[in-house]
């Protein structure tokens, strides 16, 4: 499928969600976590880097916009840009150290950074609110020169704003992945030694992927804080990183549209299971085990397999069809 077809499918999903979902906040949550999953997919699916530091960038975006909208009031668009920049800066610092190692040691470094950042945030209540987080994060309307361009008072109005940002980010990331840079990341993922022998600067490529991933994840964290009205400490826990990774794997790696499917599956399934049983995470764990054992390519891979099966059945000749006059071989049962 082409880049344009992927974008049209994403646009169709975004437009269809208000028709099938009653909660605007839940719909916004799906797109926010889809943004975070796309940032993770750029690292895991395209670069082959399993990072447990995504929660750091998510939390940086949340804290940045919360501080800029409450303590140092800035216009909301500028606060969003600052959250994106802070996520990118945090990714640049962490990535420059983590990419010095590979494999298990790389994963351990990102996990160590996640734990360290959590305890730093916990130990600075004057800045981050500590265990309580930063409360009363406003959701100002998008305005220019005092004129309101886009009100964000209701959940569905905010969903429209999140949907617009999601589509812009999706289009930009698709261009990145389809560019020479994106193809080079795939080469690094598939065979680092050969990519290095060709002459590619592996550290620079990985660092650039880290920065882009951090920027997108920082945007997701900022939008989440505006949606909930709080920048909680839980946003920087390593459990947030685990959740983002699970969404990415469930949807399918090396495909940005699959990240949207994975986020929707995780968020909507979790919301439904929570109404059935207080310990719904046990049920979610069973579902995740089934996905891990039977769907190694994620939901996107399952959809591709089903589509290939349907096309195979459609193109398969019918053995019970009557022989036609134009084919004497069929009428005679074969060559004599």
Give the pLDDT confidence of 33-62 residue by residue, as tens digits. 999 999 999 999 999 899 999 999 999 999
222 burial (CB, 10 Å; 0-12 / 13-18 / 19+) is buried
Q: Where are the domains of the chain?
A: 3-315
> Are residues 129 and 231 in contact, defined by beta-carbon separation less than 8 angstroms?
yes
pLDDT of residue 42: 93
pLDDT of residue 331: 45
DSSP state of 101: S
Q: Residue 231 has which token pair?
A: 């920048």
> Are residues 214 and 237 in contact, defined by beta-carbon separation less than 8 angstroms?
no
Q: Domain spanning 3-315 has what CATH number?
A: 1.10.3470
List average pLDDT for each run of 10 residues in the chain, which is 336 residues long: 79 93 92 95 92 93 94 88 96 93 90 93 90 90 77 92 95 92 91 88 93 96 94 89 91 88 90 83 80 74 75 66 50 44
- How many whole angstroms separate alpha carbon 175 and alpha carbon 206? 17
- How many whole angstroms separate alpha carbon 254 and alpha carbon 220? 20
- How many whole angstroms separate alpha carbon 82 and alpha carbon 64? 7
Kindly report the number of other CB atoms within 10 A of residue 11's CB atom.
14
CA dihedral (200, 205, 207, 209) in degrees, to 10, reads -170
What pTM, to 2 d.p., does this model score? 0.88
- How many whole angstroms separate alpha carbon 239 and alpha carbon 222? 18
Q: Residue 117 has which token pair?
A: 């950042």
* Locus of tokens 């880097």: 49
Q: Which residues contact 154 (CB under 8 A, 6 or more apart)?
A: 24
Give the pLDDT confidence of 217-244 residue by residue, as tens digits. 999 999 999 999 999 998 888 889 999 9
Phi, psi (rounded to 5 degrees) for 135? -100, 170
Helix 104-122 vs helix 238-251: crossing angle, to nearest 10: 140
pLDDT of residue 321: 52
In 3D space, the residue among 336, 71, 306, 95 whose CA is nearest the CA of residue 217 turns out to be: 95
CA dihedral (157, 163, 166, 168) in degrees, to 10, reads -100
Kindly report the number of other CB atoms within 10 A of residue 304's CB atom.
16
* Locus of tokens 């290939």: 308
């Amino acid at each position: 499928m082409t880049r344009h077809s992927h974008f049209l499918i994403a646009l169709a999903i975004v437009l269809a969600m208000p028709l099938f979902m009653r909660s605007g906040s839940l719909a916004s949550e799906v797109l926010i976590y889809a943004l975070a999953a796309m940032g993770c997919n750029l690292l895991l699916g395209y670069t082959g880097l399993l990072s447990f530091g995504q929660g750091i960038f998510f939390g940086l975006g949340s804290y940045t916009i919360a501080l800029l909208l409450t303590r140092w009031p800035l216009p909301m668009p500028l606060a969003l840009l600052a959250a994106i920049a802070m996520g990118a800066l945090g990714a640049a610092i962490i990535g420059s150290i983590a990419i010095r190692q590979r494999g298990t040691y790389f994963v351990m470094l990102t996990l160590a950074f996640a734990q360290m950042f959590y305890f730093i945030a916990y130990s600075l209540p004057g800045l981050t609110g500590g265990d309580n987080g930063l409360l009363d994060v406003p959701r100002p309307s998008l305005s220019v020169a005092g004129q309101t361009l886009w009100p964000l008072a209701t959940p569905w109005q905010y969903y429209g704003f999140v949907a617009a940002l999601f589509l812009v980010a999706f289009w930009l990331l698709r261009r990145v992945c389809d560019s020479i840079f994106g193809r080079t990341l795939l080469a690094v993922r598939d065979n680092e030694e050969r990519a290095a022998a060709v002459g590619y600067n592996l550290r620079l490529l990985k660092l650039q992927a880290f920065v882009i991933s951090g920027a997108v994840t920082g945007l997701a964290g900022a939008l989440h804080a505006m949606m909930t009205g709080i920048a909680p400490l839980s946003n920087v826990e390593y459990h947030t990183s685990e959740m983002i990774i699970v969404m990415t794997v469930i949807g399918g790696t090396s495909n940005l549209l699959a990240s949207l499917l994975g986020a929707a599956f995780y968020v909507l399934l979790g919301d439904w299971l929570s109404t059935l049983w207080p310990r719904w995470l046990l049920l979610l764990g069973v579902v995740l085990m089934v996905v891990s054992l039977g769907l190694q390519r994620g939901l996107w891979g399952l959809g591709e397999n089903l589509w290939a099966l349907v096309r195979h059945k459609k193109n398969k000749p019918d053995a019970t069809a009557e022989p036609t006059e134009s084919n004497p071989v069929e009428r005679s049962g074969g060559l004599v």
